Structure 1
Amino acid sequence: MDMRQLRYFAQVVESGSFSKAATHLHVAQPALSQHVRHMEEELGVSLLHRGTHGVSPTEAGDRLMRHAKRILAEFAEIPDSVRGEAVAPRGEVRFGLPGTVSEILAAPLIEAARERYPEVRIRVVEAMSGYIFDWLKRGDLDLAMIYSTSDPRGLAFHHGLSEEICLFAKPSFGGEDDIKGAAIRLKDAVALPLLVPGSGHGLRELLEDAALTIRVPIVPAVEIDSYSQIKKLAQRGLGYGILPRMAVQREEEAGTFRVWRIEEPKITRKVYLAYSTERPLLNAPRAIGQLAWDILRQMVRDAVWTAELSEESQRPNLFS
């Protein structure tokens, strides 16, 4: 088995068919099929499920694919590693961002990267934090901003900031003086008609964990995973939403929502910069990761992002 065969096999798996892989690699399809068969004969196992609608890796193929990704990435890193930081970063960076983070970070990051690293192209992948976490562990992403560190194996985490989770509603909902003051206890908040994400969502799990500490159940009026839809329902007067303060900051300033701190206990959500420790991080992801970290922190200092900064010791040293 050699590097060329690993590259061919990886492309077949990623393409899902021999014909698409052959086109991408500029290799004749019969020759490509023969290379994969030679690998199967050498290893003594079947690597691919072959069907009328394409191919998919067997269990052994999945294991080989993990090795192939790591080896090919390390091989691709050699030129940049040898040249060091004297050469400008270049290439594509796959960056996973949860929706609320993407909304505030993606545009400034892309703009700053275009000016500082013109040969780098950022591909932002937006999804819920749990999906991003899984894709990062699988190697489908180079970097991510995520909320959970529930399974840290194979990943590095740098705690960037902590967001406050708050209760909000339209100002006239339940009467102007329905909730006194600027704060509400969690046990009182859960008695309200709540608009929250469904089970399995990271924010819902955070709420459930907090409620468990005071032994009260969360029985929502509406469960919906979209932050924008939670806000729309709150604007229509269908209940009280619970979201990060950043997500409702503009509406609070405009007077669209009234916002309360949640206390006893206070609920915060941590945002982490994460990347794999099982695969080499190339120059381009290193540069973009460091840039994203710096922009994130500056946004908090400039009050663009309402949050608390972590200790400076959390700062990554990815790219100078």
Structure 2
Amino acid sequence: MDLRQLRYFTAIVEQGSFSKAATKLRVAQPALSQHLRHMEDELGVPLLHRGTRGVQPTEAGERLLARARAILAQFAELPDEVRGESAQPGGEVRIGLPGTVSELFSVPLIEAARERFPEVRIRIAEAMSGFVLDWLRRGDVDLAVIYSTSDPKGLGIHHVLTEELCLFGTPALAAVTAAPGSPVTLQAAAGLDLILPGTGHGLRDQIDEAAASIGASVQAAIEIESYTQIKRLAERGLGYGILPRMAVREQERAGVFRTWSIEQPQMYRKVYLAYSTERPMPSATRAIGQLSWEILRGLVAGESWAATLGEDGDPPALYG
């Protein structure tokens, strides 16, 4: 058994299928199957269950997976350890971001990374937080900014900041009689014509759960997943929206929207920096993770991001 076989086996498990692993590794699928057979023959035990939903590791496969990840992580860090701390990190770091986070964070991160770590190339992918989390678990991204931590197994998660959710709408809408900037109860907001993401979206689920806690229900007038489109529809006067205050800050300053805080209960959302603890952590990923933490908190401290700093005050070690 060699490192290549361990890498192939780990990719098959993480991707959930031979075909996806072959695409990611750029290896012919029959070659992957042959390597796995050789491993099973050498060890004398089956390593994978093959079914209609893909492949899953057997009990022996789970044991091998844990050891393989540890070995691969140590091997990935070996060049950095040999070169010493003075060596500049290099390579590609993939980061998954929700769209609203990317609007504020991507440019400062890329600029700072180019200055501090010129040998590192950053690739940013945007999607809803739930998709970003899936990418992180599959290994499609190395770092992620996410909102939900309901299942933190296998992840390193650090609370960066907490942002307020607010109700907003155009000045032409008259359903909200409270003065702009003053609070509106969630019970009252639930009775408005709302433009929201559909059920299953993290933000919508949070709103629905908060409404259920006070015996209310939310019936959205319009459901659409894109925050950008929610704002565009709200600008046309088709209803009110509920989004992070940061997402509508520019429109509020321009007079396009009026905003109201939500109370009973107050509505907040936590933002986390996340990474896998089950895969190798190269020095470039560690460096960009620490830089991301610094920049995200700096945006809050500099009031570019309307939020409060998270509970985790110390920078994440990121395997360090």
What is the TM-score when the length of structure 2 is the normalising length?
0.85
Q: How large is the Cα RMSD of the aligned pairs?
A: 3.0
Identity over aligned residues, as a percent?
A: 56
Gap regions ≥5 residues in structure 1? 23-28, 50-55
For residue 277 of structure 1, what is the aligned residue in structure 2? 277
Q: Cα deviation per residue 1:216-246 (whole Å; 9 max; x = unaligned)?
A: 1111111111101111111111110010001
Task: Indicate yes or no: 2:15 matched with 1:21.
Answer: no
1:58 Cα deviation from its structure 2 partner: 3.2
For residue 3 of structure 1, what is the aligned residue in structure 2? 3
1:76 Cα deviation from its structure 2 partner: 1.6
Cα separation, 2, equivalents of 1:36 and 1:6: 9
Q: Cα deviation per residue 1:138-192 (whole Å; 9 max; x = unaligned)?
A: 33322111111111222222111111000001111127x7333522111111111
1:284 Cα deviation from its structure 2 partner: 0.8
Name which of structure 1's ranges 113-122 and 72-81 shifts more when overlaid on structure 2: 72-81
Name which of structure 1's ranges 304-313 and 142-151 shifts more when overlaid on structure 2: 304-313
1:296 Cα deviation from its structure 2 partner: 0.9
1:99 Cα deviation from its structure 2 partner: 1.1
For residue 15 of structure 2, what is the aligned residue in structure 1? none
Q: Which AA in structure 2 matches 1:315?
A: P
For residue 157 of structure 1, what is the aligned residue in structure 2? 157
1:103 Cα deviation from its structure 2 partner: 1.4
Q: Which AA in structure 2 matches 1:123?
A: R
Query: Relative to structure 1, is the Cα distance of residues 69 and 145 closer, same or farther in structure 2, using a 3 angstrom cutoff?
Result: same
For residue 258 of structure 1, what is the aligned residue in structure 2? 258
Query: Relative to structure 1, is the Cα distance of residues 34 and 233 closer, same or farther in structure 2, using a 3 angstrom cutoff?
Result: closer
For residue 59 of structure 1, what is the aligned residue in structure 2? 56
For residue 179 of structure 2, what is the aligned residue in structure 1? 180
Task: Indicate yes or no: 2:290 matched with 1:304.
Answer: no
In the TM superposition, what are the counterparts of 1:129-140 in structure 2 within 5 Å? 129-140=129-140
> Contact 1:158–1:314 at 8 Å: present in 2 too?
no
Query: Relative to structure 1, is the Cα distance of residues 316 and 58 closer, same or farther in structure 2, using a 3 angstrom cutoff?
Result: closer
Query: Relative to structure 1, is the Cα distance of residues 311 and 221 closer, same or farther in structure 2, using a 3 angstrom cutoff?
Result: same
Query: Relative to structure 1, is the Cα distance of residues 16 and 249 closer, same or farther in structure 2, using a 3 angstrom cutoff?
Result: same
Gap regions ≥5 residues in structure 2? 13-17
1:40 Cα deviation from its structure 2 partner: 4.1
> Contact 2:281–2:319 at 8 Å: present in 1 too?
no
Cα separation, 2, equivalents of 1:214 and 1:71: 50
For residue 52 of structure 1, what is the aligned residue in structure 2? none
> Contact 1:47–1:57 at 8 Å: present in 2 too?
no
Query: Relative to structure 1, is the Cα distance of residues 256 and 32 closer, same or farther in structure 2, using a 3 angstrom cutoff?
Result: closer
Query: Relative to structure 1, is the Cα distance of residues 102 and 41 closer, same or farther in structure 2, using a 3 angstrom cutoff?
Result: same
Name which of structure 1's ranges 266-275 and 279-288 shifts more when overlaid on structure 2: 279-288
Q: Cα deviation per residue 1:269-297 (whole Å; 9 max; x = unaligned)?
A: 01111122233422111110111111111
Cα separation, 2, equivalents of 1:204 and 1:166: 13
> Contact 1:74–1:279 at 8 Å: present in 2 too?
no
Cα separation, 1, equivalents of 2:11 and 2:148: 31
1:305 Cα deviation from its structure 2 partner: 0.8
1:93 Cα deviation from its structure 2 partner: 1.1
> Contact 1:160–1:314 at 8 Å: present in 2 too?
no
SS state at 2:125 partner: strand
1:318 Cα deviation from its structure 2 partner: 4.2
Cα separation, 1, equivalents of 2:312 and 2:30: 56
Query: Relative to structure 1, is the Cα distance of residues 231 and 267 closer, same or farther in structure 2, using a 3 angstrom cutoff?
Result: same
Task: Indicate yes or no: 2:311 matched with 1:316.
Answer: no
Query: Relative to structure 1, is the Cα distance of residues 11 and 202 closer, same or farther in structure 2, using a 3 angstrom cutoff?
Result: closer
> Contact 1:299–1:305 at 8 Å: present in 2 too?
yes
1:98 Cα deviation from its structure 2 partner: 1.0
What is the TM-score when the length of structure 1 is the normalising length?
0.85
Query: Relative to structure 1, is the Cα distance of residues 57 and 198 closer, same or farther in structure 2, using a 3 angstrom cutoff?
Result: closer
For residue 25 of structure 1, what is the aligned residue in structure 2? none
Query: Relative to structure 1, is the Cα distance of residues 266 and 11 closer, same or farther in structure 2, using a 3 angstrom cutoff?
Result: closer
1:69 Cα deviation from its structure 2 partner: 5.2
Q: Which AA in structure 2 matches 1:231?
A: K
SS state at 1:172 partner: coil
In the TM superposition, what are the counterparts of 1:114-263 in structure 2 within 5 Å? 114-174=114-174, 178-181=177-180, 182-263=182-263
Q: Which AA in structure 2 matches 1:59?
A: Q
